Amino acid sequence: MMEIEQLLHQRWNDAAALEALLPSRRVTTGRSLLNTLPRAAIGRRSRSVVCRTNLGEVIEQIVLEVRLEHEEFDRGAAIVGEFLRVFDRKRFPLSGGAKVLQLRRAEDDCRQRDDGVWQFRVAMVARVWLPAEAAGE
């Protein structure tokens, strides 16, 4: 089954306006190894089981974090705004019959480092339904 981080990366690539603001080749999953700005990384903060049914289905809660670094505040803020337009309060299928029932913004912040680079952070909470086959039951 494709991990949700990979799916967000793929959907970033498919979202023309978001791709125009920050190409998906500048976005990594996990830790970013890109040395130049701007860059973004999609990572997982936590994963927990919310509910297990007698049929073996599982509902999980996954907390994801998107970190963006940009030299310009306005451009970074525009990327975050477009990211939220594309992903906040959305639902979509995953591979293996699983589904993201809801993806929503939990929190976000922005700060400027001493070197002048702007760091944006957006935490997203996903509720994911896994059929018994995908849940390993």
Residues 65, 43 contacting (CB under 8 angstroms):
yes
Domain total of the chain: 1
pLDDT band at 96 (very low <50, low <70, confident <90, very high): confident
For 8-50, write each residue's pLDDT tens digit: 999 999 999 999 999 999 999 977 778 899 999 999 999 999 9
89 phi-psi bin (left φ>0, alpha ψ -120 to 50, beta other): left
Average of per-residue pLDDT values in the chain: 93
The Cα–Cα gap between 112 and 71 comes to 9
Per-residue pLDDT, averaged over 115-133, amounts to 96
Residue 102 lies in domain: 4-106+114-135
What are 66's strand-pairing partners?
42, 122
CATH number of the CATH domain containing 33: 3.30.2000.10
Question: What does the alpha-carbon distance between residue 17 and residue 4 come to, in Å, rounded to a whole number?
Answer: 21
